[in-house]
Amino acid sequence: MFVALGITLFYIIFVWFIFFKAKLLKFNITWGVVSFWVGAHLLLIFLVALRFFQPFSLDSHVVRSTIQIVPRLTEPTILTEVLVEPNTEVKKGDPLYRFDDTVFALEVEEATAQLVAAEQNAKILEQDVIAASEAIERANAQLAYALTQQARYQNLVPAGGARQDELDRWDEQVAEDQAQVKEAEANLEKAQLALDSQIDGVNTGILQAQAQLDKAQYFLDNTTIYAPEDGMIVSQQARPGLVVGDIRLGAIASFVTKDNPYILATYRQQNLKFVEVGQEVEVALDLYPGEILTGKVEAIWWATRQGQYLPSGRLPGFEFPKLPGRIAVQMSVDIPDGHTFPAGGHAAVAIYTGQGKSFEFLRRINIRLYSFANFIRPLDI
């Protein structure tokens, strides 16, 4: 608007000077029509060139990444301490919230005891293998003795040196001792399998108990929430006594990060015809009237919600939008020392594509007029 007004005003002054001040030409109906026609086309040429070669946006805001603070706890837990003040910058790793850790500390103690028991059970498994091996030796010795006695009576009975029932008893004893040997061998295999139940040389029972301890320790550690990055919590609504845990679905706070803020500006699609990554940008942040910040184009977001359809059982419906979808452009800005770059801060942004250099000064004047106008606009004293 400022550019259009400026061009119009300049042309009116030019016409006034030629026809009325210097009186180089005599003004009449013909010259009036010609002057209007030339002025309209002159204005149109400037506006078209500026729109395509130096696109301008008033729909521009500062964007900072936010991290949702969601407690990772397994059961309802009381918030006992709030360790961060709202709107106060904190460093990465600073504690933010502390929850009651009584239950989680007890779970760690229980898991520690189970780990010790598992380590002892692993040692017992080694002794079980030794005991099973000794049981096989005893069973084999008994079987060897029974076989010797069986052979002896097999020679005595035919010669009348012993009764048949004695031989039958040793036959039964041999069968029983053979069964005991098989049982002892099975017990040894069972004990060996239990001992060999390992992953990378560590007994699975110990690994399972260690995993339970690590899990309990993880949730105990999560009873204190730390700052994930440098930044701040803007709106502090969490208070001691708040209950969180598996019954809570949302975050208790939003953490606004400090690093890598950027400007996100939207443009009409046709205005981005010549815009590319890396091109020069000027930003007039409303917070600092009269100042122009520099930057460059970081990315063009070639997608809008109008181009997205979610899976559903409903057939798509088509309605002509009130306004065509605008495309967002992400821009990095050189922030001077001592300047605040608030999330959501409004700005006007101009992109200089490098083409139409002869019109570029008009856009630079345009954005500076906008910036200085912020000293008095809006007129709501």
CATH class of segment(s) 56-63+261-306+322-381? mainly beta
Cα-Cα-Cα-Cα dihedral sign, residues 33, 39, 43, 44:
positive
- Fold: same for 56-63+261-306+322-381 and 66-100+223-256: no
| Residue 55 confidence (pLDDT) | 92
Domain boundaries, the chain: 1-53, 56-63+261-306+322-381, 66-100+223-256, 104-217
Does residue 76 have a cis peptide bond before it, meaning omega lies within 30 degrees of 0?
no
| Residue 293 confidence (pLDDT) | 95
Answer whether 8's CB lies under 8 Å from 35's CB: no
| Residue 246 confidence (pLDDT) | 64
Q: Cα–Cα distance between 63 and 341 in angstroms, integer?
A: 9
| Residue 1 confidence (pLDDT) | 46
Question: What string of pLDDT tens digits covers the 381 residues of the chain?
Answer: 455 556 666 656 666 666 566 666 666 666 565 566 555 556 556 667 778 889 999 999 999 999 988 888 888 889 999 999 888 899 999 999 999 999 999 999 999 999 888 888 878 777 877 887 887 888 788 878 778 877 776 777 677 766 777 767 877 877 887 888 788 778 777 777 666 676 777 777 788 889 999 999 999 999 999 999 999 998 888 899 888 876 556 788 889 998 889 999 999 988 998 999 999 999 999 999 999 999 999 999 998 888 888 888 888 777 776 767 789 999 999 999 888 889 999 999 999 998 878 778 888 888 998 999 988 877 666
CATH class of segment(s) 66-100+223-256? mainly beta
